[in-house]
């Protein structure tokens, strides 16, 4: 697996210290494998223990979140915040609310976030948080009570210059609003401690759209530079129907593509005429309903149970925007057989290592999450800048900055891969480009900090 004895030792240490944490081990292994040529070319990294340090979170917080449901019953969830690396800025990363959340999931996301945030070129470190609380099926008041209890503990550990959480799966504008309100009550201060805020209280225009839009800007640049192609006239499949998926669909359509399938965790819809996004927004953003409802409102559309079936829909461009490991080897082979030319990861780690290998071996352009979905956190950092300046930029200003950032991330990843003899391998390029800046800062700041 690793050629370098140093990397073998580092990875064995991670395995021994984090037994059974499969998502975290998967994410660490992928990054370390990409860093092999960098480690060989820079002996200082081993001398100063940079890799041993980067795989260990600076701080991990696990805490009880108790709250009372609408029936008056006490409920207990577990809260997490992993403050992974602050070498280049305050910890930054979303809060995931989903029953599948555990230490491994939060650590994998926090680890990836270090490199993603570095790739944006903005001064933000890596962190992630969440809870096994499931907002689905809860009343607004239950969600509010949970969020307030969650923030009562989290507020002790975050701050505008320390750690700035944001949304993720299950944490949208409603949850951020409740959390921000509670932080403000506890601290008696109005600061940009969370991003993804509502526009009336410090949020940024274009933040809601940023991850999905940014993904399409990245994929468009990748298609143009590596294949002299674009979204124009292409059939696109977007998995998920949450924040990232909806705005990936919107931008892919604006750029000339036709999105024919979307999904949720129960199943997927197929609409050969191109998905009517207004209907999806009404169902998912307004009614908080299920994607299945689409077929009752749009003629000619089909619904199929089981979300992984979406990868059997023939397409030119696949944009997985739901969750981790949603494309396995088998799904990847079907996509390749059906003629896919590009895959852009909107979700975090949606392709298994085996699926990535299938795409790379088949010559499919592959945009890894760390680079391709960095538009969300980049725009969160722009929200932090606006909060610090007490100014609001226009939608066009933020969108233009987002586009420039995504184009730069593509070229940085592309160039880093080429520099280390892996031309066209954006997985390696993104890991290397993200790592180099953080490693440099860690070397400069000394060891016992």
Stretch that binds ligand NDP, among 138-146, 168-176, 216-224, 352-360 (CB under 6 A): 168-176
Calpha distance 272→46 (Å, rounded):
54
**Which listed residue (348, 352, 386, 412) binds ligand NDP by CB under 6 A?**
348
Stretch that binds ligand NDP, among 50-58, 223-231, 341-349, 418-426 (CB under 6 A): 341-349
Active site residue 208: no
Calpha distance 107→60 (Å, rounded):
9
Shortest gap between Cβ of 166 and ligand NDP (angstroms)? 7
Calpha distance 445→449 (Å, rounded):
7
Shortest gap between Cβ of 3 and ligand NDP (angstroms)? 31
Q: Is 280 in the site for ligand NDP (CB under 6 A)?
A: no
Shortest gap between Cβ of 196 and ligand NDP (angstroms)? 7
Which residue's CB is nearer to ligand NDP, number 6 or number 126?
A: 126
Closest C-alpha to 374, from 210, 164, 209, 236: 210
Closest C-alpha to 347, from 366, 319, 328, 375: 319
Stretch that binds ligand NDP, among 7-15, 37-45, 321-329, 331-339 (CB under 6 A): 321-329
Residues 373 to 402 in contact with ligand NDP, rule: CB under 6 A = 373, 376
Q: Are 122 and 166 in contact (CB under 8 A)?
A: no
**Which listed residue (195, 241, 412, 431) binds ligand NDP by CB under 6 A?**
241
Q: Is 168 in the site for ligand NDP (CB under 6 A)?
A: yes
Shortest gap between Cβ of 50 and ligand NDP (angstroms)? 26
Shortest gap between Cβ of 379 and ligand NDP (angstroms)? 8
The end-to-end CA distance of the chain, in Å, is 32
Stretch that binds ligand NDP, among 40-48, 241-249, 298-306, 359-367 (CB under 6 A): 241-249
Calpha distance 253→270 (Å, rounded):
16
Name the 3-class secondary structure at 130: strand
Q: Are 110 and 126 in contact (CB under 8 A)?
A: yes
Half-sphere exposure of 302 (CA within 13 A, CB side): 9
Q: Is 165 in the site for ligand NDP (CB under 6 A)?
A: no
Q: Is 243 in the site for ligand NDP (CB under 6 A)?
A: yes
Strands in 74-85's sheet, in edge-to-edge order, are 59-68, 74-85, 125-131, 91-97, 163-166
Stretch that binds ligand NDP, among 25-33, 82-90, 310-318, 343-351 (CB under 6 A): 343-351
**Which listed residue (242, 257, 368, 434) binds ligand NDP by CB under 6 A?**
242
Shortest gap between Cβ of 68 and ligand NDP (angstroms)? 24
Calpha distance 68→72 (Å, rounded):
6
Calpha distance 381→393 (Å, rounded):
13
Q: Is 250 in the site for ligand NDP (CB under 6 A)?
A: no
What are the two backbone dihedrals, phi and then psi, of residue 91, each rounded to the nearest 5 degrees? Answer: -55, 140
Question: Where along the sequence are the contacts to ligand NDP (CB under 6 A)?
Answer: 167-170, 211, 240-245, 264-266, 307, 321-323, 326, 346-348, 373, 376
Active-site residues, by number, are 128
């Amino acid at each position: 697996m690793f050629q370098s004895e140093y990397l073998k030792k580092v990875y064995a240490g991670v395995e021994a210290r984090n037994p059974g944490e499969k998502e975290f081990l998967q994410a660490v292994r992928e990054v370390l494998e990409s860093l092999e040529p960098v480690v060989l070319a820079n002996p200082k990294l081993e001398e100063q223990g940079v890799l041993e340090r980067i795989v260990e979170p600076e701080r991990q917080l696990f805490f009880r979140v108790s709250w009372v449901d609408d029936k008056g019953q006490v409920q207990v969830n577990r809260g997490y915040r992993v403050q992974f690396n602050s070498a280049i800025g305050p910890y930054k990363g979303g809060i995931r609310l989903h029953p599948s959340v555990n230490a491994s999931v939060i650590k994998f996301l926090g680890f990836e976030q270090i490199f993603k945030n570095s790739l944006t070129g903005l001064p933000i470190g890596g962190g992630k948080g969440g809870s096994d609380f499931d907002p689905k099926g809860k009343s607004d008041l239950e969600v509010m009570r949970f969020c307030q209890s969650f923030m009562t503990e989290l507020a002790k550990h975050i701050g505008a210059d320390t750690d700035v959480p944001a949304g993720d799966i299950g944490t949208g504008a409603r949850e951020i609003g409740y959390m921000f309100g509670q932080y403000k009550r506890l601290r008696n201060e109005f600061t940009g401690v969370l991003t993804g805020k509502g526009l009336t209280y410090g949020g940024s225009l274009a933040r809601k759209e940023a991850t999905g839009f940014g993904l399409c800007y990245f994929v468009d640049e990748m298609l143009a530079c590596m294949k002299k192609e674009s979204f124009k006239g292409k059939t696109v499949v977007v998995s998920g129907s949450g924040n990232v998926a909806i705005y990936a669909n919107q931008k892919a359509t604006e750029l000339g593509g036709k999105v024919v399938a979307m999904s949720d965790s129960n199943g997927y819809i197929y609409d050969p005429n191109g998905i009517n996004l207004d209907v999806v927004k009404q169902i998912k953003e307004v009614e908080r309903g299920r994607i299945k409802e689409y077929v009752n409102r749009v003629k000619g559309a089909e619904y199929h149970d089981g979300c992984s079936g979406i990868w059997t829909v023939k397409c030119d461009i696949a944009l997985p925007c739901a969750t981790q490991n949603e494309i396995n080897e088998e799904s990847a082979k079907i996509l390749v057989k059906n003629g896919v030319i590009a895959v852009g990861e909107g979700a975090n780690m949606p392709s298994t290592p085996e699926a990535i290998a299938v795409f790379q071996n088949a010559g499919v352009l592959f945009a890894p999450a760390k680079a391709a979905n960095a538009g969300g956190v980049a725009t969160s950092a722009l929200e932090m800048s606006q909060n610090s300046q007490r100014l609001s930029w226009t939608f066009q200003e933020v969108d233009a900055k987002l586009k420039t950032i995504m184009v730069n991330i593509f070229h940085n990843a592309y160039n880093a891969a080429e520099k280390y003899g892996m031309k066209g391998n954006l997985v390696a390029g993104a890991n290397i480009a993200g790592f180099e800046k953080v490693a440099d800062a860690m070397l400069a700041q000394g060891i016992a900090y």
